[in-house]
Chains A and B, each alone.
Chain A
């Protein structure tokens, strides 16, 4: 079932984030800021830019390699959400029929170029975000966000979401399984049953929320979720952030592939 595959995908991403590599050990704040910078810089390129974006692939590739994250797994996830990007850009070639020359003697409509640009930007930003999650435990990201100034209430919400996402999904899987077991391949009554399942899950969630709140009160909860983790921002974190930031700035200002091309041609000539 699609649901169970989705669950195991999230579970795998979560498990990856508890590995211990140089990338995993970086301060969550450094990684969050670097990823945000990366996304902003990539998105800031003009809409017909494709070639200048290519050097940016170095960032996710390096993070993935150093963080020991299987490239195929991330690629599959990117492909899985790619329909969104495809739908955003698919009509560009129709609406933007201006032709441009991309190589001597080859010209295509500008819409194709902007479509390609959208796809490249999408692949870059999504893979960077996935790698952030795969190399930083979710609680780590939350602590990073908290210390970067996100209000405590939002951080608590995210933490509870993370903690109970798995519990809720497992509960949903059990209910769906029970339905499938007795519906003999007929998807068990369709919409009406589905609506009831969602209702049941909702009620269970409410009851569980009450029990959790009771457990929190029993341990002295008074409205604030305390944490005592204190990451220290080490020189290596600063170095990572500076190196990443410098690299992004360089690639943003200097069109690297074209420059390399010019250099190569210069040598050849």
Chain B
């Protein structure tokens, strides 16, 4: 299934104001992998994500999605393969009702109305939000908005699901249900987050970015238990690994 590959080859990117955000990023993500991307504020996480569906184009180096190299002309093809869930659901949900919002992508893909309706129902059922279909987004709670934002992207059936802080500012129960949701997808998943417990729960592999380069790449359980490495990157051990008194800390380090 080589078409589910995502490859960055020595990607460099300079913002118009001269800031060099990426200084040679290389990695390969294969079919069905779940990968966390962590790093300090300003390390380049968001810039990497914005390259994944061609919102930004590399200044030099290449990004390949399947066999398709990312270029201006291939952007819309790549956007079909890579679905990005942005951090703020209010930016993601721009249509007047939940149904219309989830239908937006499939309709733009040119699907006939019957199929679109099916897709919308399927996507909303997957995130347990079928009952919200006719509501306007501003009547939803934060957790509901996040779930629907994910549905808008999975309705397009992308090969690769990319998420920026999927559980930021959610209450613990909503966060837990988003984690359950992410674990239920068979897609290739890429999750950028400061919520290291979430990464530990969802991702098998973890990349650490610092100063525009990848400084570590390996199994999430190893990387996220390396206190030194984490500290160098303004991060901390996930709470489940901190072994506080009264907590079953070590058992939390599940694979």
Residues in chain A within 8 A of chain B (CB atoms):
14-15, 18, 137-139, 142, 159-160, 162-164, 166-167, 208, 211-212, 214-222, 225-229
Contacts and interface: CB of A to CB of B under 8 A. Distances in A.
B187 to A, nearest CB: 15
Interface in B77-116: 79-80, 83-84, 86, 88, 90-97, 100, 103-105, 107-109, 113, 116
Given A212-B91, A218-B79, A220-B76, 8 more contacts: A14-B136, A15-B139, A142-B96, A163-B136, A166-B138, A212-B94, A222-B108, A225-B104
A163 B137 contact: yes
Contacts of B135: 18
A162 B96 contact: yes
B83 A228 contact: no
Contacts of A211: 86, 88, 91
B163 interface: no
Nearest to B87: A211
A255 to B, nearest CB: 43
Contact of A139 (B96, B104, B109, B139): B96
8 contacts: A166-B138, A214-B50, A218-B86, A220-B156, A222-B76, A226-B108, A228-B100, A228-B117
A217 B72 CA distance: 13
A226 B138 contact: no
Interface of B: 50, 53, 55, 76, 79-80, 83-84, 86, 88, 90-97, 100, 103-105, 107-109, 113, 116-117, 135-139, 152-153, 156
B95 A159 contact: yes
Contacts of B86: 211, 214-215, 218
Contact of A214 (B55, B83, B107, B156): B55
B124 to A, nearest CB: 15
Majority SS of interface residues in chain A? helix
A126 B105 CA distance: 38
B109 A220 contact: yes
B55 A217 contact: yes
Given A218-B79, A228-B113, A139 B97 contact: yes
Contact of B156 (A138, A219, A222): A219
Nearest to B91: A211
A148 to B, nearest CB: 17
Contacts of B156: 219-220
Contact of B94 (A142, A160, A220, A227): A160
A226 B107 contact: yes
Contacts of A229: 100
Contacts of B152: 219
Contact of A215 (B76, B94, B96, B113): B94
Contacts of A217: 55, 79
Given A139-B136, A167-B138, A220 B95 contact: no
Contacts of B139: 15, 18
Contacts of A163: 93-96, 136-138
Contact of B80 (A160, A212, A220): A220
A221 B94 CA distance: 12
9 A-B pairs closest in CB distance? A220-B108, A139-B96, A226-B107, A219-B105, A166-B138, A211-B91, A228-B113, A215-B92, A218-B84
Contacts of B90: 167, 208
A140 to B, nearest CB: 9
A226 to B, nearest CB: 4
Contacts of B83: 218
Listed residue (B83, B90, B107) with the most chain A CB atoms within 10 angstroms of its CB: B90
A216 B100 contact: no
B76 to A, nearest CB: 7
Contacts of B50: 214
A219 B138 contact: no
A217 B94 CA distance: 12
Contacts of A14: 136, 138
A67 B116 CA distance: 32
Contacts of A159: 95-96
B27 to A, nearest CB: 21
A18 B133 CA distance: 13
A220 B96 contact: no
B87 to A, nearest CB: 9
B154 to A, nearest CB: 11
B153 A219 contact: yes
A11 to B, nearest CB: 8
